[in-house]
Amino acid sequence: MTTLTTHVLIAESSAEENFASIDVPLWAWVALVGAITVMLVVDLLLVHRTAHVISIKEATIESAIWVSIGLAFGIVVLLWHGGQAGGEYYAGFLIEKSLSIDNVFVWAVIFSFFAVPREYQFRVLFWGIFGALVLRGIFIFAGVSLIERFEWVLYVFGAFLLYTAVKIARHDESDRIDYERNIAMRVVRRLVPTTDDYDGQKLFTRASGKRLATPLFTVLVLIEATDVVFAVDSVPAILAVSREPFIVFAA
């Protein structure tokens, strides 16, 4: 219901709003992407160097740290570019966190469907998030460029958000999705030799002299495919509150 309300409110946003327009130097982009990369690498190589089941306490602490970093960066934007830019950042941050709840539930269903061992789930999510950042960046710049050239695209985005909201409201929780028939799964299994056996947290393994993709790789591909769908949903939503690529990407 929260997601439905968020979608409807965002879809009704006026295209005539005044948005922050800031001059972001190249070094700021390099610093932002570099900082995100360093934090992800530290998370992978230090915090989660060995595969283990993440406890609720550990997950809560890590989530609190990541959210705190995001909120702190909003203060940087606020002090650097003023209240308008800061407000847009926090609005986008809130939207992304609200919509990310959908992602979490879908990921949980996928992990359950493929019976991915809990101790290996982080590795899949890490590379999934890394890929998601690249995809979101592409969608954000493409979306901003489209809006700058064709203002009417906003109405298309709004209609899509309303359609998504209605679809979510009418979704039957009893419906079971067969991910084995997902087009992404069919394509990867047709193009990449795979095995049904796990080899620790490796994405690829060797068997009988052949290099094979493990189930973790196929699950990763499916998660990336679902993130494309989520990006089509969330990027138009956040572009309703800000048109500045730096703010949108950072949020």
Write the pLDDT tens digit of every residue in 65-103: 999 999 999 999 999 888 899 999 999 999 888 888 878
**Residue 94 CB contacts under 8 Å (≥ 6 apart), including other chains:** none
| pLDDT tens sequence across 224-239 | 888 887 777 777 788 8
Residues 31 and 4: their CA atoms lie apart, in Å, by 35
What confidence category does residue 176 fall into, taking pLDDT thresholds of 50, 70 and 90? low
Please count the structural domains in the chain: 1
Whether residue 216 contacts residue 198, with contact meaning beta carbons closer than 8 Å, is answered with: yes
What token pair was written down for 149?
A: 């050239």
Distances (CA, A) of 129 to 41, 53, 143, 170: 12, 19, 20, 29
**Residue 57 CB contacts under 8 Å (≥ 6 apart), including other chains:** none
- Taking the model in full, what pTM does it have? 0.77
H or E segment at 88? helix 83-113
Containing domain of residue 7, as a range?
2-250
Average pLDDT value for the chain: 81
